[in-house]
Chains A and B, each alone.
Chain A
Amino acid sequence: MRSHWLSIAPSRSYSVRTDVIEFVDVDVRVPGPVGELTLLTGVSAKLTEQRIAVIGGNGGGKSTLARLTNGLIGASSGSVIVEGLNVAEEAPKVRRKVGFVFTNPLSQLVMPTAAEDIALSLRRTIKDKKARSARTSEILEEFGLGHRADTSVHALSGGQQQLLALAGVLACDPAIVVADEPTTLLDLRNSRAVAERLFSLEQQLVLVTHDLDLAGRCDRALVIESGRVIFDGAATEAVDFYRASVSP
Protein backbone atom coordinates (compact mmCIF):
# COMPACT_ATOMS: atom_id res chain seq x y z
CA MET A 1 0.00 0.00 0.00
CA ARG A 2 1.28 3.46 -0.82
CA SER A 3 1.84 5.69 2.13
CA HIS A 4 2.85 8.84 0.30
CA TRP A 5 -0.04 10.80 1.74
CA LEU A 6 1.50 10.67 5.17
CA SER A 7 4.48 12.73 4.15
CA ILE A 8 3.52 16.29 4.85
CA ALA A 9 6.17 18.05 2.86
CA PRO A 10 6.32 21.83 2.52
CA SER A 11 4.61 23.39 -0.45
CA ARG A 12 6.59 22.82 -3.65
CA SER A 13 6.06 22.82 -7.37
CA TYR A 14 5.96 19.78 -9.60
CA SER A 15 6.66 19.72 -13.28
CA VAL A 16 5.97 16.12 -14.26
CA ARG A 17 3.07 13.98 -13.12
CA THR A 18 1.90 10.59 -14.19
CA ASP A 19 -1.67 11.10 -12.94
CA VAL A 20 -3.78 12.45 -15.74
CA ILE A 21 -7.38 13.55 -15.91
CA GLU A 22 -8.66 14.12 -19.41
CA PHE A 23 -11.96 15.66 -20.46
CA VAL A 24 -12.80 15.03 -24.10
CA ASP A 25 -15.51 17.31 -25.48
CA VAL A 26 -17.67 16.79 -22.40
CA ASP A 27 -21.27 17.97 -22.18
CA VAL A 28 -23.41 17.57 -19.07
CA ARG A 29 -27.14 18.09 -19.38
CA VAL A 30 -29.80 17.40 -16.78
CA PRO A 31 -33.59 17.63 -16.87
CA GLY A 32 -34.72 21.11 -15.88
CA PRO A 33 -38.08 22.71 -15.12
CA VAL A 34 -38.42 23.57 -18.82
CA GLY A 35 -36.49 21.19 -21.06
CA GLU A 36 -32.88 20.31 -20.52
CA LEU A 37 -30.46 22.33 -18.45
CA THR A 38 -26.89 22.47 -19.72
CA LEU A 39 -24.37 22.40 -16.87
CA LEU A 40 -21.23 21.99 -18.97
CA THR A 41 -20.65 22.16 -22.67
CA GLY A 42 -17.69 21.41 -24.90
CA VAL A 43 -15.18 20.94 -22.11
CA SER A 44 -11.85 19.55 -23.26
CA ALA A 45 -8.76 19.61 -21.11
CA LYS A 46 -5.90 17.33 -20.16
CA LEU A 47 -4.85 17.88 -16.57
CA THR A 48 -1.32 16.69 -15.92
CA GLU A 49 -0.10 19.28 -13.42
CA GLN A 50 0.32 18.66 -9.71
CA ARG A 51 -2.18 21.27 -8.62
CA ILE A 52 -5.05 22.51 -10.71
CA ALA A 53 -7.51 25.16 -9.58
CA VAL A 54 -11.02 25.52 -10.93
CA ILE A 55 -12.47 28.99 -10.42
CA GLY A 56 -15.52 30.91 -11.60
CA GLY A 57 -18.86 32.24 -10.49
CA ASN A 58 -21.57 30.35 -8.62
CA GLY A 59 -23.57 28.01 -10.83
CA GLY A 60 -20.97 28.14 -13.59
CA GLY A 61 -20.24 24.40 -13.58
CA LYS A 62 -17.16 24.10 -11.35
CA SER A 63 -18.63 21.48 -9.03
CA THR A 64 -20.05 19.57 -11.99
CA LEU A 65 -16.58 19.39 -13.50
CA ALA A 66 -15.18 18.14 -10.18
CA ARG A 67 -17.92 15.55 -9.80
CA LEU A 68 -17.25 14.18 -13.28
CA THR A 69 -13.81 13.04 -12.18
CA ASN A 70 -15.04 10.21 -10.00
CA GLY A 71 -18.39 9.44 -11.48
CA LEU A 72 -20.61 11.30 -9.03
CA ILE A 73 -22.19 12.73 -12.16
CA GLY A 74 -21.94 11.31 -15.67
CA ALA A 75 -21.15 13.06 -18.92
CA SER A 76 -24.11 13.32 -21.30
CA SER A 77 -21.67 13.22 -24.20
CA GLY A 78 -17.91 13.09 -24.53
CA SER A 79 -15.75 11.21 -22.10
CA VAL A 80 -13.76 11.63 -18.92
CA ILE A 81 -10.57 9.58 -18.64
CA VAL A 82 -8.71 9.23 -15.35
CA GLU A 83 -5.32 7.51 -15.49
CA GLY A 84 -6.42 5.73 -18.64
CA LEU A 85 -9.75 4.59 -17.17
CA ASN A 86 -13.01 5.75 -18.69
CA VAL A 87 -15.10 6.99 -15.75
CA ALA A 88 -18.37 5.97 -17.42
CA GLU A 89 -17.21 2.37 -17.82
CA GLU A 90 -14.99 1.80 -14.81
CA ALA A 91 -16.33 4.08 -12.12
CA PRO A 92 -15.49 1.82 -9.13
CA LYS A 93 -11.84 1.58 -10.23
CA VAL A 94 -11.72 5.32 -10.81
CA ARG A 95 -13.15 6.02 -7.36
CA ARG A 96 -10.27 4.04 -5.87
CA LYS A 97 -7.93 6.54 -7.48
CA VAL A 98 -9.87 9.74 -6.93
CA GLY A 99 -10.64 10.97 -3.42
CA PHE A 100 -13.34 13.62 -3.16
CA VAL A 101 -13.58 16.28 -0.46
CA PHE A 102 -16.96 17.99 -0.20
CA THR A 103 -17.72 21.58 0.79
CA ASN A 104 -19.70 20.57 3.86
CA PRO A 105 -17.69 18.01 5.85
CA LEU A 106 -20.76 16.84 7.75
CA SER A 107 -22.12 15.47 4.49
CA GLN A 108 -19.04 13.34 4.29
CA LEU A 109 -18.68 12.17 7.88
CA VAL A 110 -21.01 9.22 8.19
CA MET A 111 -19.90 7.58 11.42
CA PRO A 112 -20.63 8.81 14.96
CA THR A 113 -17.06 9.54 16.06
CA ALA A 114 -13.85 10.69 14.42
CA ALA A 115 -12.08 7.36 14.91
CA GLU A 116 -15.00 5.35 13.60
CA ASP A 117 -15.20 7.45 10.47
CA ILE A 118 -11.54 6.87 9.65
CA ALA A 119 -11.96 3.17 10.43
CA LEU A 120 -14.79 3.03 7.90
CA SER A 121 -12.44 4.25 5.17
CA LEU A 122 -9.89 1.63 6.16
CA ARG A 123 -12.28 -1.33 6.25
CA ARG A 124 -11.68 -2.21 2.63
CA THR A 125 -7.90 -2.22 2.80
CA ILE A 126 -7.19 -3.39 6.36
CA LYS A 127 -9.24 -6.39 7.40
CA ASP A 128 -7.57 -7.03 10.75
CA LYS A 129 -9.35 -5.07 13.47
CA LYS A 130 -6.28 -4.33 15.60
CA ALA A 131 -4.24 -3.21 12.61
CA ARG A 132 -7.15 -1.03 11.49
CA SER A 133 -7.45 0.51 14.92
CA ALA A 134 -3.71 1.23 15.06
CA ARG A 135 -3.76 2.79 11.60
CA THR A 136 -6.78 4.88 12.57
CA SER A 137 -4.88 6.27 15.56
CA GLU A 138 -1.86 7.04 13.38
CA ILE A 139 -3.97 8.94 10.88
CA LEU A 140 -5.78 10.94 13.54
CA GLU A 141 -2.46 11.86 15.17
CA GLU A 142 -1.07 12.86 11.80
CA PHE A 143 -3.95 15.28 11.36
CA GLY A 144 -3.74 16.62 14.90
CA LEU A 145 -7.01 14.95 15.84
CA GLY A 146 -5.67 12.22 18.10
CA HIS A 147 -7.18 13.82 21.19
CA ARG A 148 -10.58 13.98 19.44
CA ALA A 149 -10.70 10.33 18.37
CA ASP A 150 -13.78 9.45 20.42
CA THR A 151 -15.53 12.79 19.98
CA SER A 152 -18.80 12.99 18.09
CA VAL A 153 -18.19 14.35 14.59
CA HIS A 154 -20.90 16.91 15.36
CA ALA A 155 -18.93 18.22 18.32
CA LEU A 156 -15.78 18.95 16.30
CA SER A 157 -15.05 22.47 15.08
CA GLY A 158 -15.62 23.21 11.40
CA GLY A 159 -11.91 23.06 10.71
CA GLN A 160 -11.54 19.76 12.55
CA GLN A 161 -14.51 18.35 10.65
CA GLN A 162 -12.95 19.31 7.32
CA LEU A 163 -9.55 17.91 8.35
CA LEU A 164 -11.27 14.70 9.42
CA ALA A 165 -13.12 14.51 6.11
CA LEU A 166 -9.82 14.97 4.29
CA ALA A 167 -8.17 12.34 6.49
CA GLY A 168 -11.02 9.94 5.70
CA VAL A 169 -10.48 10.49 1.99
CA LEU A 170 -6.72 10.08 2.22
CA ALA A 171 -7.12 6.92 4.29
CA CYS A 172 -8.44 5.34 1.09
CA ASP A 173 -5.03 6.12 -0.44
CA PRO A 174 -6.17 7.92 -3.59
CA ALA A 175 -3.76 9.01 -6.33
CA ILE A 176 -5.79 12.15 -7.00
CA VAL A 177 -7.63 14.41 -4.57
CA VAL A 178 -10.53 16.53 -5.80
CA ALA A 179 -11.68 19.16 -3.31
CA ASP A 180 -14.89 21.05 -3.97
CA GLU A 181 -14.68 24.37 -2.12
CA PRO A 182 -13.18 22.75 0.99
CA THR A 183 -12.50 26.05 2.76
CA THR A 184 -15.70 27.91 1.93
CA LEU A 185 -17.42 27.24 5.27
CA LEU A 186 -14.34 27.81 7.41
CA ASP A 187 -12.95 30.81 9.27
CA LEU A 188 -9.55 32.20 8.31
CA ARG A 189 -7.51 30.09 10.72
CA ASN A 190 -9.22 26.81 9.81
CA SER A 191 -9.27 27.73 6.15
CA ARG A 192 -5.49 28.17 6.22
CA ALA A 193 -4.98 24.93 8.13
CA VAL A 194 -7.01 22.93 5.60
CA ALA A 195 -5.38 24.72 2.66
CA GLU A 196 -1.87 24.02 3.95
CA ARG A 197 -2.78 20.39 4.39
CA LEU A 198 -4.11 20.19 0.85
CA PHE A 199 -1.08 21.94 -0.62
CA SER A 200 1.28 19.62 1.23
CA LEU A 201 -0.16 16.52 -0.43
CA GLU A 202 1.92 14.60 -2.90
CA GLN A 203 -1.21 13.55 -4.75
CA GLN A 204 -2.47 15.46 -7.73
CA LEU A 205 -4.91 18.07 -6.45
CA VAL A 206 -7.91 19.48 -8.27
CA LEU A 207 -9.15 22.38 -6.18
CA VAL A 208 -12.49 24.04 -6.83
CA THR A 209 -12.37 27.32 -4.97
CA HIS A 210 -13.53 30.90 -4.66
CA ASP A 211 -10.33 31.75 -2.80
CA LEU A 212 -8.25 33.37 -5.52
CA ASP A 213 -5.13 33.44 -3.34
CA LEU A 214 -5.31 29.66 -3.08
CA ALA A 215 -6.05 29.33 -6.78
CA GLY A 216 -3.03 31.49 -7.54
CA ARG A 217 -0.77 29.02 -5.75
CA CYS A 218 -1.71 26.24 -8.16
CA ASP A 219 0.23 25.27 -11.26
CA ARG A 220 -2.71 25.72 -13.59
CA ALA A 221 -6.25 27.06 -13.37
CA LEU A 222 -9.43 26.72 -15.36
CA VAL A 223 -11.95 29.53 -15.30
CA ILE A 224 -15.47 28.27 -15.84
CA GLU A 225 -18.49 30.42 -16.57
CA SER A 226 -21.91 29.38 -17.84
CA GLY A 227 -20.79 25.80 -18.35
CA ARG A 228 -17.78 26.67 -20.50
CA VAL A 229 -14.06 26.85 -19.83
CA ILE A 230 -13.33 30.47 -20.71
CA PHE A 231 -9.69 30.45 -19.65
CA ASP A 232 -7.19 27.65 -19.20
CA GLY A 233 -3.61 28.43 -18.33
CA ALA A 234 -1.13 29.38 -15.65
CA ALA A 235 -2.89 29.96 -12.35
CA THR A 236 -1.72 33.52 -11.82
CA GLU A 237 -2.84 34.50 -15.32
CA ALA A 238 -6.16 32.74 -14.81
CA VAL A 239 -6.74 34.61 -11.55
CA ASP A 240 -5.92 37.92 -13.23
CA PHE A 241 -8.26 37.05 -16.09
CA TYR A 242 -11.06 36.15 -13.71
CA ARG A 243 -10.58 39.28 -11.59
CA ALA A 244 -10.71 41.40 -14.75
CA SER A 245 -13.80 39.59 -16.02
CA VAL A 246 -15.81 40.33 -12.87
CA SER A 247 -14.59 43.90 -12.42
CA PRO A 248 -17.25 46.52 -13.12
Chain B
Amino acid sequence: MARTKQKQIKYSKNVGIHNYERRVWRKNLKRIPVESRGHSLQRVLNENEARHIQHSHILPVNLSIIENPEEVITSFNEMESVISQGYPIYIDMKDVNRLSIESIMYMLSLMKNLKTRKVPFHIRGNVPATADNFHLLKNSGFFTFVGNNALVLRSNGETFSIHESASVEGDTVKNICQFIMQKMNIPQKSMYALYDMIIELMTNTVEHAYENGMNIVSHWYIYIDYDELKKEFHFAFLDNGLGIPTTVKKTSWEKFQKWVADKGILIYGQVDLIEASLLGAFRTRTQEENRGKGMPGIYEFLKKKKVNNLVIVSNNGYYSETKKIDMNATMRGTLYYWTMRKECFYASV
Protein backbone atom coordinates (compact mmCIF):
# COMPACT_ATOMS: atom_id res chain seq x y z
CA MET B 1 0.00 0.00 0.00
CA ALA B 2 2.94 2.27 0.67
CA ARG B 3 3.93 1.90 -2.97
CA THR B 4 0.46 2.82 -4.05
CA LYS B 5 0.66 6.03 -2.10
CA GLN B 6 3.81 6.84 -3.82
CA LYS B 7 1.92 6.52 -7.03
CA GLN B 8 1.20 10.21 -7.15
CA ILE B 9 3.13 10.41 -10.26
CA LYS B 10 3.21 13.60 -12.12
CA TYR B 11 3.47 13.24 -15.83
CA SER B 12 4.78 15.67 -18.25
CA LYS B 13 1.92 16.57 -20.50
CA ASN B 14 4.00 15.85 -23.50
CA VAL B 15 4.95 12.35 -22.58
CA GLY B 16 4.64 11.31 -26.18
CA ILE B 17 3.45 7.77 -25.54
CA HIS B 18 0.34 6.34 -27.01
CA ASN B 19 -2.72 5.45 -25.05
CA TYR B 20 -1.94 1.79 -24.60
CA GLU B 21 1.36 2.55 -23.02
CA ARG B 22 -0.23 5.20 -20.83
CA ARG B 23 -2.67 2.62 -19.54
CA VAL B 24 0.17 0.16 -19.04
CA TRP B 25 2.18 2.75 -17.18
CA ARG B 26 -0.60 3.64 -14.78
CA LYS B 27 -2.10 0.22 -14.30
CA ASN B 28 0.96 -1.93 -14.04
CA LEU B 29 3.22 0.40 -12.25
CA LYS B 30 4.96 -2.36 -10.39
CA ARG B 31 5.49 -4.47 -13.47
CA ILE B 32 6.53 -1.99 -16.06
CA PRO B 33 9.10 -3.74 -18.18
CA VAL B 34 12.39 -1.95 -17.95
CA GLU B 35 14.14 -2.04 -21.29
CA SER B 36 17.40 -0.82 -20.01
CA ARG B 37 19.66 -2.38 -17.45
CA GLY B 38 20.34 -0.57 -14.23
CA HIS B 39 18.27 -0.05 -11.14
CA SER B 40 14.73 -1.31 -11.28
CA LEU B 41 11.94 1.16 -11.75
CA GLN B 42 10.53 0.29 -8.36
CA ARG B 43 13.72 1.08 -6.54
CA VAL B 44 14.03 4.38 -8.34
CA LEU B 45 10.54 5.27 -7.30
CA ASN B 46 11.49 4.60 -3.72
CA GLU B 47 14.72 6.46 -3.91
CA ASN B 48 13.67 9.41 -5.97
CA GLU B 49 10.07 10.20 -5.33
CA ALA B 50 10.31 13.54 -7.00
CA ARG B 51 11.66 12.15 -10.19
CA HIS B 52 8.68 10.53 -11.77
CA ILE B 53 8.44 12.73 -14.73
CA GLN B 54 9.22 10.90 -17.93
CA HIS B 55 10.94 13.02 -20.46
CA SER B 56 10.25 12.44 -24.07
CA HIS B 57 13.30 13.18 -26.14
CA ILE B 58 12.68 13.66 -29.81
CA LEU B 59 15.71 12.94 -31.95
CA PRO B 60 16.50 15.09 -35.00
CA VAL B 61 14.98 14.18 -38.34
CA ASN B 62 18.48 13.94 -39.82
CA LEU B 63 20.21 11.75 -37.28
CA SER B 64 23.62 11.65 -38.92
CA ILE B 65 26.63 13.00 -37.08
CA ILE B 66 28.50 13.20 -40.38
CA GLU B 67 25.85 15.27 -42.14
CA ASN B 68 24.27 17.14 -39.26
CA PRO B 69 26.88 17.19 -36.49
CA GLU B 70 25.81 20.28 -34.56
CA GLU B 71 22.18 19.31 -34.09
CA VAL B 72 22.76 15.60 -33.52
CA ILE B 73 25.54 16.00 -30.97
CA THR B 74 23.60 18.69 -29.12
CA SER B 75 20.58 16.39 -29.02
CA PHE B 76 22.60 13.48 -27.63
CA ASN B 77 24.22 15.71 -25.04
CA GLU B 78 20.80 16.88 -23.87
CA MET B 79 19.61 13.29 -23.75
CA GLU B 80 22.59 12.24 -21.68
CA SER B 81 22.05 15.13 -19.33
CA VAL B 82 18.44 14.12 -18.70
CA ILE B 83 19.39 10.50 -18.14
CA SER B 84 22.26 11.43 -15.82
CA GLN B 85 19.82 13.27 -13.59
CA GLY B 86 17.87 10.06 -13.14
CA TYR B 87 14.79 10.91 -15.13
CA PRO B 88 13.08 8.17 -17.08
CA ILE B 89 13.34 8.96 -20.74
CA TYR B 90 11.47 8.00 -23.86
CA ILE B 91 13.56 8.27 -27.00
CA ASP B 92 11.36 9.22 -29.91
CA MET B 93 12.86 8.12 -33.23
CA LYS B 94 9.72 7.76 -35.26
CA ASP B 95 10.25 10.89 -37.33
CA VAL B 96 13.90 10.17 -38.06
CA ASN B 97 14.22 9.89 -41.80
CA ARG B 98 18.01 9.86 -42.03
CA LEU B 99 19.53 7.41 -39.60
CA SER B 100 23.20 6.68 -39.77
CA ILE B 101 25.23 4.08 -38.03
CA GLU B 102 27.69 6.34 -36.28
CA SER B 103 24.79 7.96 -34.43
CA ILE B 104 23.56 4.56 -33.28
CA MET B 105 27.06 3.74 -32.09
CA TYR B 106 27.34 7.02 -30.22
CA MET B 107 24.01 6.41 -28.48
CA LEU B 108 25.12 2.94 -27.39
CA SER B 109 28.39 4.30 -26.15
CA LEU B 110 26.68 6.96 -24.02
CA MET B 111 24.44 4.29 -22.48
CA LYS B 112 27.37 2.06 -21.74
CA ASN B 113 29.20 4.85 -20.01
CA LEU B 114 26.17 5.64 -17.88
CA LYS B 115 25.92 2.02 -16.86
CA THR B 116 29.59 1.91 -15.95
CA ARG B 117 29.15 5.00 -13.82
CA LYS B 118 26.27 3.18 -12.12
CA VAL B 119 23.86 5.88 -13.11
CA PRO B 120 20.39 4.37 -12.85
CA PHE B 121 18.62 4.91 -16.10
CA HIS B 122 15.30 3.97 -17.56
CA ILE B 123 15.12 4.21 -21.27
CA ARG B 124 12.28 3.35 -23.55
CA GLY B 125 11.69 4.36 -27.07
CA ASN B 126 10.22 3.75 -30.44
CA VAL B 127 11.77 3.01 -33.80
CA PRO B 128 11.99 4.98 -37.02
CA ALA B 129 8.83 4.80 -39.07
CA THR B 130 10.61 4.05 -42.36
CA ALA B 131 11.46 0.45 -43.13
CA ASP B 132 15.04 1.19 -44.25
CA ASN B 133 15.90 2.95 -41.04
CA PHE B 134 14.25 0.30 -38.94
CA HIS B 135 16.27 -2.40 -40.66
CA LEU B 136 19.45 -0.42 -40.22
CA LEU B 137 18.73 -0.13 -36.52
CA LYS B 138 17.92 -3.81 -36.28
CA ASN B 139 20.92 -4.99 -38.32
CA SER B 140 23.26 -2.78 -36.35
CA GLY B 141 22.75 -4.92 -33.26
CA PHE B 142 21.17 -2.07 -31.31
CA PHE B 143 18.33 -4.18 -29.93
CA THR B 144 20.73 -6.95 -29.01
CA PHE B 145 22.77 -4.47 -27.07
CA VAL B 146 19.92 -2.90 -25.13
CA GLY B 147 18.49 -6.37 -24.57
CA ASN B 148 21.46 -8.21 -23.15
CA ASN B 149 24.30 -5.75 -23.36
CA ALA B 150 26.27 -7.89 -25.77
CA LEU B 151 27.52 -6.91 -29.17
CA VAL B 152 28.41 -9.76 -31.43
CA LEU B 153 30.24 -9.39 -34.68
CA ARG B 154 28.32 -11.01 -37.42
CA SER B 155 27.67 -10.45 -41.03
CA ASN B 156 24.34 -10.61 -42.75
CA GLY B 157 25.89 -10.30 -46.17
CA GLU B 158 25.66 -6.53 -46.40
CA THR B 159 26.72 -5.38 -42.97
CA PHE B 160 28.79 -6.17 -39.99
CA SER B 161 26.80 -5.50 -36.88
CA ILE B 162 28.38 -3.09 -34.46
CA HIS B 163 31.33 -4.68 -32.72
CA GLU B 164 32.66 -3.33 -29.49
CA SER B 165 35.79 -4.04 -27.50
CA ALA B 166 38.37 -2.60 -25.15
CA SER B 167 41.46 -4.16 -26.70
CA VAL B 168 43.32 -4.35 -29.98
CA GLU B 169 41.86 -7.29 -31.88
CA GLY B 170 43.66 -8.61 -34.92
CA ASP B 171 41.12 -11.40 -35.36
CA THR B 172 38.26 -8.90 -35.59
CA VAL B 173 40.04 -6.99 -38.32
CA LYS B 174 40.84 -10.26 -40.07
CA ASN B 175 37.12 -11.11 -40.10
CA ILE B 176 36.34 -7.68 -41.51
CA CYS B 177 38.95 -8.16 -44.23
CA GLN B 178 37.57 -11.57 -45.13
CA PHE B 179 34.09 -10.11 -45.41
CA ILE B 180 35.34 -7.42 -47.77
CA MET B 181 37.47 -9.84 -49.79
CA GLN B 182 34.48 -12.07 -50.31
CA LYS B 183 32.18 -9.19 -51.21
CA MET B 184 34.52 -7.54 -53.67
CA ASN B 185 36.47 -10.59 -54.81
CA ILE B 186 39.85 -9.08 -54.04
CA PRO B 187 42.99 -10.80 -52.77
CA GLN B 188 44.17 -10.86 -49.20
CA LYS B 189 47.33 -8.91 -49.91
CA SER B 190 45.18 -5.92 -50.90
CA MET B 191 43.99 -5.63 -47.31
CA TYR B 192 47.25 -4.34 -45.87
CA ALA B 193 46.38 -0.66 -45.69
CA LEU B 194 42.91 -1.22 -44.24
CA TYR B 195 44.23 -3.72 -41.71
CA ASP B 196 46.92 -1.29 -40.62
CA MET B 197 44.49 1.60 -40.33
CA ILE B 198 41.90 -0.17 -38.19
CA ILE B 199 44.51 -1.65 -35.86
CA GLU B 200 46.03 1.82 -35.42
CA LEU B 201 42.61 3.25 -34.54
CA MET B 202 42.10 0.50 -31.95
CA THR B 203 45.59 1.15 -30.59
CA ASN B 204 44.94 4.88 -30.32
CA THR B 205 41.79 4.18 -28.33
CA VAL B 206 43.37 1.70 -25.99
CA GLU B 207 46.52 3.69 -25.40
CA HIS B 208 45.56 7.33 -25.63
CA ALA B 209 41.88 7.96 -25.42
CA TYR B 210 41.48 7.70 -21.68
CA GLU B 211 43.13 8.93 -18.54
CA ASN B 212 43.61 6.53 -15.67
CA GLY B 213 40.85 6.92 -13.20
CA MET B 214 38.38 8.22 -15.73
CA ASN B 215 34.97 6.99 -14.81
CA ILE B 216 34.15 5.77 -18.29
CA VAL B 217 34.87 2.49 -19.96
CA SER B 218 37.70 2.35 -22.44
CA HIS B 219 36.03 1.05 -25.57
CA TRP B 220 35.72 1.40 -29.27
CA TYR B 221 32.98 0.51 -31.70
CA ILE B 222 33.27 -0.39 -35.35
CA TYR B 223 30.66 -0.96 -38.02
CA ILE B 224 30.89 -1.64 -41.73
CA ASP B 225 28.23 -1.73 -44.35
CA TYR B 226 28.22 -2.19 -48.09
CA ASP B 227 26.35 0.16 -50.36
CA GLU B 228 25.27 -2.02 -53.26
CA LEU B 229 24.31 0.97 -55.36
CA LYS B 230 27.56 2.85 -55.04
CA LYS B 231 29.62 -0.33 -54.79
CA GLU B 232 31.48 0.94 -51.79
CA PHE B 233 32.00 0.12 -48.16
CA HIS B 234 31.19 2.59 -45.40
CA PHE B 235 33.19 2.40 -42.20
CA ALA B 236 32.49 3.99 -38.88
CA PHE B 237 34.87 3.75 -35.92
CA LEU B 238 34.09 5.44 -32.63
CA ASP B 239 35.85 5.75 -29.34
CA ASN B 240 34.23 7.49 -26.41
CA GLY B 241 37.34 8.86 -24.76
CA LEU B 242 38.81 12.30 -24.29
CA GLY B 243 39.04 13.28 -27.95
CA ILE B 244 41.99 14.23 -30.15
CA PRO B 245 42.12 17.95 -29.28
CA THR B 246 42.29 17.02 -25.60
CA THR B 247 44.84 14.23 -25.83
CA VAL B 248 47.41 15.57 -28.27
CA LYS B 249 50.47 16.70 -26.42
CA LYS B 250 51.24 20.30 -26.92
CA THR B 251 54.67 20.37 -25.43
CA SER B 252 56.13 20.76 -28.90
CA TRP B 253 54.63 24.19 -28.73
CA GLU B 254 57.10 25.91 -30.99
CA LYS B 255 56.60 23.26 -33.63
CA PHE B 256 52.85 23.70 -33.49
CA GLN B 257 53.04 27.47 -33.58
CA LYS B 258 55.23 27.26 -36.65
CA TRP B 259 52.76 24.91 -38.28
CA VAL B 260 49.94 27.35 -37.54
CA ALA B 261 51.97 30.28 -38.86
CA ASP B 262 52.88 28.39 -42.04
CA LYS B 263 49.21 27.81 -42.65
CA GLY B 264 48.43 31.46 -42.27
CA ILE B 265 46.11 30.74 -39.38
CA LEU B 266 45.81 33.58 -36.90
CA ILE B 267 43.52 31.99 -34.37
CA TYR B 268 43.36 28.22 -34.22
CA GLY B 269 40.55 26.02 -33.12
CA GLN B 270 40.00 22.39 -32.34
CA VAL B 271 39.63 21.37 -35.96
CA ASP B 272 43.14 22.74 -36.51
CA LEU B 273 44.37 20.47 -33.74
CA ILE B 274 42.81 17.49 -35.50
CA GLU B 275 44.42 18.49 -38.78
CA ALA B 276 47.77 19.08 -37.13
CA SER B 277 47.56 15.66 -35.55
CA LEU B 278 46.99 14.10 -38.96
CA LEU B 279 49.96 15.95 -40.35
CA GLY B 280 52.19 14.85 -37.50
CA ALA B 281 52.68 18.33 -36.05
CA PHE B 282 52.49 16.93 -32.55
CA ARG B 283 54.31 14.28 -30.75
CA THR B 284 52.04 11.82 -29.07
CA ARG B 285 51.34 12.13 -25.40
CA THR B 286 54.18 9.71 -24.79
CA GLN B 287 56.65 12.10 -26.40
CA GLU B 288 58.69 9.12 -27.54
CA GLU B 289 60.53 9.33 -30.85
CA ASN B 290 59.30 5.96 -32.05
CA ARG B 291 55.62 6.70 -31.43
CA GLY B 292 52.97 8.83 -33.04
CA LYS B 293 52.73 7.11 -36.37
CA GLY B 294 49.03 6.29 -36.31
CA MET B 295 47.38 9.56 -37.34
CA PRO B 296 49.95 10.55 -39.97
CA GLY B 297 49.59 7.07 -41.39
CA ILE B 298 45.86 7.57 -41.80
CA TYR B 299 46.47 10.89 -43.52
CA GLU B 300 48.92 9.17 -45.85
CA PHE B 301 46.23 6.69 -46.84
CA LEU B 302 43.84 9.56 -47.54
CA LYS B 303 46.33 11.32 -49.77
CA LYS B 304 47.09 8.12 -51.66
CA LYS B 305 43.37 7.47 -52.19
CA LYS B 306 43.41 4.29 -50.19
CA VAL B 307 40.44 5.70 -48.28
CA ASN B 308 37.85 8.22 -49.43
CA ASN B 309 35.59 10.76 -47.78
CA LEU B 310 37.39 10.64 -44.44
CA VAL B 311 35.58 12.57 -41.72
CA ILE B 312 36.90 12.97 -38.19
CA VAL B 313 34.69 14.46 -35.48
CA SER B 314 36.25 14.99 -32.09
CA ASN B 315 35.30 17.32 -29.22
CA ASN B 316 34.34 20.55 -31.05
CA GLY B 317 36.25 19.81 -34.25
CA TYR B 318 34.77 18.51 -37.50
CA TYR B 319 37.41 17.65 -40.09
CA SER B 320 37.10 16.49 -43.66
CA GLU B 321 39.02 17.38 -46.80
CA THR B 322 36.25 19.73 -47.90
CA LYS B 323 34.89 20.97 -44.59
CA LYS B 324 36.75 22.05 -41.47
CA ILE B 325 34.63 23.59 -38.75
CA ASP B 326 34.64 24.28 -35.06
CA MET B 327 31.25 23.34 -33.73
CA ASN B 328 29.39 24.77 -30.78
CA ALA B 329 28.41 21.26 -29.74
CA THR B 330 31.01 19.08 -28.03
CA MET B 331 31.32 15.44 -28.90
CA ARG B 332 32.77 13.08 -26.35
CA GLY B 333 35.50 11.02 -27.97
CA THR B 334 36.35 10.66 -31.63
CA LEU B 335 34.46 9.42 -34.64
CA TYR B 336 36.20 8.31 -37.82
CA TYR B 337 34.12 7.74 -40.91
CA TRP B 338 35.37 6.79 -44.37
CA THR B 339 34.42 4.96 -47.52
CA MET B 340 36.32 2.58 -49.77
CA ARG B 341 35.60 1.46 -53.31
CA LYS B 342 37.31 -1.42 -55.02
CA GLU B 343 40.06 0.74 -56.54
CA CYS B 344 41.11 1.88 -53.06
CA PHE B 345 42.34 -1.59 -52.32
CA TYR B 346 44.64 -1.48 -55.31
CA ALA B 347 46.06 2.01 -54.80
CA SER B 348 49.77 1.86 -54.17
CA VAL B 349 50.97 2.25 -50.61
Query: Are A and B physically bound partners?
Result: no
Q: Which residues of B contact A (CB under 8 A)?
A: none
Q: Which residues of A contact B (CB under 8 A)?
A: none
